[in-house]
């Protein structure tokens, strides 16, 4: 057996087994390229124009007034062009529970909780299943690397096939052309994304060395490789904290006017409290590791972080994977290549099905059903989540939970329907549903969000927010354009059958 022949089976089954999970990972990762824009869209309080009047000390005062539990740490981020609002997060000392709040630019009020754009990012890298989900996604990423490399080996005319697309050929040939086309278009991108996606969590996937070398203290390892600063708790009451704005001014002076990014305070109620201020530079692929550590009470500069070359390379790979550099053009390029990855998976699944449908088999109906449930069900469930976000009252305490349930139940309902129909209902009903949901969201916005609907956003030049509604309209129209000719052809076929 030749190398190409041996790789064919590896490519087929190594690609098929995790393919539905890979579709979830790639599709939600594509959405997460614009997670910050989705965050603003899902929080109407962030859409009201206004000049932010809060500062870091105001955010800290809100935390003191509204969170009574002892804190292990808290962190905040000042407004930016993409995120024109203050963000706050904290971790409780005893329970380890975390909280998060965003503040309205116009009023400075803390906004009601919602899943926000971070929902898609978390689904992308850990399936909302914590460490276990992270391991599952990592395993799928390794399968993807195997499938990509074996796919290059078995396609002897891979670059010639790039220029070959025969949509009117027989079903299997047309889908194979599509699979090859999307695979070659995004091949370097897909290889980089699969590799860096696994590399980001390499210390978690292979923790034995760190556990042994650092006596079970991984935090010490990360501080050492990153050049960070850590001070053990003294278990003594802390003094009056220094004004954060004073420390921010000193940090800007240290960086010759550089922007401030994340501000974190560790052990805030202890005499060992430390304030870390990280530099922000969105033009760089890897986020700068320039961090200044101050004594929270005296303002003394304790440490200037000097990350090693290896850690900077790691951060560069993480930044390359995240795609949060270079502005909107880079993010749209990531979206296009991410959708090409989805197209590659869809084409591969259809090729597998078309080869085996004629022969039949017990697994054919299951694969067909999973295709409809995942490839068609996930996008519809994402649209359903956006509808729930708009329709659920903002002051409901369980709003965030109900949004999650709306996404999960709609997806489960579609999966149950696909399994009950053994996948024979196809994608047309879901395309009609997606068109209605996508086209209806901008109209719903027009009725419910006076400052955030499409016309208002365009009127004040807020194209980042308007792009969400414009994308929804485009998705809805594309679904209609795809499904309408098929419906007309079926209608003509039925008419011809009943006409004598």
Examine the domain organization and report whether 155 and 91 are in the same domain. Answer: no
Q: Could you list the residue range(s) of the whole structural domain that residue 81 is in? A: 43-113
As a whole number, mean pLDDT of residues 211-239 equals: 83
Q: Is the pLDDT of residue 330 over 70?
A: yes
Examine the domain organization and report whether 320 and 184 are in the same domain. Answer: yes
Residue 177 lies in a domain: yes
Residue 205 lies in a domain: yes
Give the tens place of pLDDT for each residue, 231-275. Answer: 888 888 878 899 999 999 999 999 988 899 999 999 998 999 999
As a whole number, mean pLDDT of residues 322-336 equals: 91
Q: What does each C-alpha distance from 226 to 187, 200, 291, 346 come to in angstroms?
A: 32, 14, 10, 40
Residues forming a β-bridge with 75: 89, 264
Question: Phi and psi (nearest 5°) for 288?
Answer: -60, 140
Residue 369 lies in a domain: no
- Where does residue 44 rank: exposed (0-12), middle (13-18), buried (19+ CB within 10 A)? buried
Q: Which pLDDT score is estimated for 206?
A: 87
Residue 416 lies in a domain: no
As a whole number, mean pLDDT of residues 183-199 equals: 93
Residue 426: which region, alpha, beta or left (left: phi > 0; alpha: psi -120 to 50)?
Answer: left
Q: Is the pLDDT of residue 361 over 80?
A: no
Rounded to the nearest 10 degrees, the angle between the axes of helix 19-32 and helix 130-154 is: 110
Which pair of structure tokens corresponds to residue 491?
A: 């209608």
Q: Is the pLDDT of residue 368 over 70?
A: yes
Domain boundary among 55, 88, 113: 113
Q: Is the pLDDT of residue 494 over 60?
A: no
Other Cβ atoms closer than 10 A to 195: 18
Q: Is the pLDDT of residue 423 over 80?
A: no
Q: Is the pLDDT of residue 492 over 70?
A: no
Q: Which pLDDT score is estimated for 166?
A: 63
Other Cβ atoms closer than 10 A to 264: 18
Q: Higher-confidence residue: 107 or 277?
A: 277
Question: Phi and psi (nearest 5°) for 270?
Answer: -110, 160
Average confidence score pLDDT of the chain: 88
pLDDT band at 65 (very low <50, low <70, confident <90, very high): very high
Examine the domain organization and report whether 221 and 321 are in the same domain. Answer: yes
Q: Which pLDDT score is estimated for 386?
A: 97
Give the tens place of pLDDT for each residue, 9-57. Answer: 888 888 888 999 999 999 999 999 999 999 999 999 898 877 778 999 9
Lowest mean pLDDT among 227-241, 425-439, 457-471, 481-495: 481-495
Distance CA 284, CA 272 (A): 33
Examine the domain organization and report whether 195 and 205 are in the same domain. Answer: yes
As a whole number, mean pLDDT of residues 86-92 equals: 95
Q: Which pLDDT score is estimated for 289?
A: 79
Examine the domain organization and report whether 97 and 59 are in the same domain. Answer: yes
Q: Which pLDDT score is estimated for 96?
A: 86
Examine the domain organization and report whether 125 and 179 are in the same domain. Answer: yes
Distance CA 310, CA 314 (A): 6
Examine the domain organization and report whether 78 and 123 are in the same domain. Answer: no
Q: Which pLDDT score is estimated for 38?
A: 95
Q: What does each C-alpha distance from 57 to 60, 73, 74, 101 come to in angstroms?
A: 5, 16, 13, 15
CATH of the domain at 78: 3.10.450
Reported pTM? 0.90
Q: What does each C-alpha distance from 131 to 126, 134, 223, 352 come to in angstroms?
A: 7, 5, 21, 32
Q: Which pLDDT score is estimated for 486?
A: 58
Q: Higher-confidence residue: 177 or 88?
A: 88
Q: Token match 């197209």: residue?
A: 343
Q: Is the pLDDT of residue 500 over 80?
A: no
Distance CA 368, CA 156 (A): 29
Examine the domain organization and report whether 99 and 183 are in the same domain. Answer: no
Helix, strand, coil percentages for the chain (3-state, nearest 5): 60, 10, 30
Find out whether 207 and 200 touch, Cβ atoms under 8 Å: no
Distance CA 26, CA 339 (A): 8
Residue 72 lies in a domain: yes
Give the tens place of pLDDT for each residue, 139-182. Answer: 999 999 999 988 888 877 666 666 666 666 566 767 777 788 88
Examine the domain organization and report whether 187 and 142 are in the same domain. Answer: yes
As a whole number, mean pLDDT of residues 306-333 equals: 89
Q: Higher-confidence residue: 81 or 488?
A: 81
Q: Token match 């010490």: residue?
A: 220
Question: Phi and psi (nearest 5°) for 263?
Answer: -120, 120
Domain boundary among 335, 359, 383: 359
As a whole number, mean pLDDT of residues 182-211 equals: 90
**Number of folded domains that form the chain:** 2
Examine the domain organization and report whether 96 and 214 are in the same domain. Answer: no
Whole-number percent of the chain with pLDDT over 70: 92
Residue 50 lies in a domain: yes
Whole-number percent of the chain with pLDDT over 90: 57
Q: Is the pLDDT of residue 111 over 70?
A: yes
Which pair of structure tokens corresponds to residue 145?
A: 């690397």
Ordered DSSP codes for 278-328:
EEE-TTSSSPP--EEEEETTT--EEEE----HHHHHHHHHHHHHHT-SS-H
Q: Higher-confidence residue: 454 or 326?
A: 454
Q: Is the pLDDT of residue 352 over 80?
A: yes
98: enclosing H helix or E strand? strand 98-102
Q: Is the pLDDT of residue 495 over 50?
A: no
Q: Which pLDDT score is estimated for 72?
A: 92
Q: Is the pLDDT of residue 455 over 70?
A: yes
Examine the domain organization and report whether 50 and 27 are in the same domain. Answer: no
Residues forming a β-bridge with 74: 90, 265
């Amino acid at each position: 057996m030749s190398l190409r022949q041996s790789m064919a089976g590896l490519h087929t089954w190594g690609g098929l087994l995790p393919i539905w999970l890979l579709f979830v990972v790639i599709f939600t990762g594509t959405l997460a390229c614009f997670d910050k824009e989705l965050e603003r869209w899902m929080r109407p309080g962030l859409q009201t124009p206004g000049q932010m009047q809060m500062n870091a000390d105001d955010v800290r005062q809100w935390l003191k007034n509204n969170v009574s539990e002892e804190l292990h740490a808290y962190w905040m981020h000042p407004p930016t062009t993409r995120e024109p609002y203050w963000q706050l997060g904290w971790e409780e000392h005893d329970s380890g529970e975390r909280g998060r709040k965003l503040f309205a630019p116009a009023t400075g009020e803390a906004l009601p909780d919602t899943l926000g754009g971070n929902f898609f990012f978390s689904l992308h890298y850990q399936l909302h299943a914590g460490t276990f989900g992270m391991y599952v996604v990592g395993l799928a990423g390794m399968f993807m690397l195997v499938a990509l490399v074996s796919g290059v080996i078995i396609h002897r005319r891979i670059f010639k096939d790039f220029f070959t697309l025969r949509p009117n050929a027989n079903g299997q040939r047309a889908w194979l052309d599509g699979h090859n086309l999307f695979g070659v278009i995004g091949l370097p991108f897909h290889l980089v994304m699969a590799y860096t996606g696994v590399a980001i969590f390499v210390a978690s996937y292979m923790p034995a060395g760190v556990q042994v070398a650092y006596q079970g203290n991984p935090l010490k390892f990360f501080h050492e490789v990153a050049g960070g600063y850590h001070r053990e708790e003294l278990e003594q009451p802390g003094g009056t904290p220094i004004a954060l704005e004073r420390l921010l001014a000193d940090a800007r002076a240290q960086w010759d006017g550089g922007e401030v990014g994340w501000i974190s305070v560790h052990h805030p109620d202890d005499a060992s409290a430390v304030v870390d201020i990280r530099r922000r530079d969105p033009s760089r692929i890897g986020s700068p590791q320039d961090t200044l550590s101050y004594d929270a009470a005296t303002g003394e500069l304790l440490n200037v972080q000097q990350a090693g070359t290896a850690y900077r390379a790691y951060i560069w790979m993480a930044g390359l994977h995240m795609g949060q550099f270079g502005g909107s053009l880079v993010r749209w390029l990531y979206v296009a290549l991410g959708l090409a990855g989805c197209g590659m998976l869809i084409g591969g699944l259809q090729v597998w099905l078309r080869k085996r449908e004629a022969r039949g088999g017990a697994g054919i109906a299951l694969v067909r059903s999973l295709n409809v449930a995942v490839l068609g069900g996930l996008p519809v469930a994402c649209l359903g989540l956006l509808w729930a976000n708009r329709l659920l009252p903002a002051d409901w305490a369980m709003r965030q939970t109900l949004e999650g349930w709306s996404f999960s139940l709609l997806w489960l309902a579609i999966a149950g329907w696909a399994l009950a129909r053994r996948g024979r209902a196809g994608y047309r009903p879901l395309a009609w549903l997606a068109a209605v949901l996508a086209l209806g969201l901008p109209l719903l916005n027009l009725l419910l969000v006076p400052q955030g609907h499409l016309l208002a956003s365009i009127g004040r030049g807020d194209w980042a927010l308007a792009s969400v509604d414009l994308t929804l309209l485009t998705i809805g129209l594309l679904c209609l354009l795809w499904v309408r000719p098929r419906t007309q052809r079926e209608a003509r076929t039925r008419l011809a059958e009943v006409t004598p």
